Amino acid sequence: MRGAAQRRRGFRLGLSGERRAAWLLRLKGYKVLAFRYKTPGGEADLVVRRGSTLVFVEVKVRASFEAGLAAINLRQQWRVAAAARAWLAHHPASMALTVRFDAVLLAPGRWPRHLVGAFERDV
């Protein structure tokens, strides 16, 4: 049962981090369009928009910012990009927007860090 309890705790921590990231982005003028946007090929923790920019956001809650950044590996980037492609296919009006991939890193005792253009992928 210990494994299941750890997964539940991690899930709750992730949800909490996503909510905090959403509030940070709202305070910066972004409109949250979707939480946990899931597709068969990938997932984006948040989909937000500000002006003519559509942003797919990866949120990482780790012991340090460095650990959070390291967790956004190439496989993770491809999963977010796959979600972005699915979003664009289902929301054709979004094709006219600039697409960007950001990250919000959260670590205990630190203010959240928003990394604009954290990585680049083709969509």
What pLDDT, in 10s, does the model give residues 18-77?
Answer: 999 999 999 999 999 999 999 999 999 999 999 999 999 999 999 999 999 999 999 999
pLDDT digits (tens, 9 = 90+) for 4-35: 777 666 556 556 889 999 999 999 999 999 99
- Look at the domain 2-119 and name its fold: Trna Endonuclease; Chain: A, domain 1 (3.40.1350)
Q: E strands, the chain, where?
A: 31-38, 43-50, 53-61, 98-106, 113-119
Closest CA to 54 of 96, 113, 114, 115: 96
> Please, are residues 58 and 75 in contact by the beta-carbon 8 Å criterion?
no
Pairing of strands 43-50, 31-38: antiparallel
pTM above 0.75, yes or no: yes
CA angle 76, 113, 98 (to 5 degrees): 60
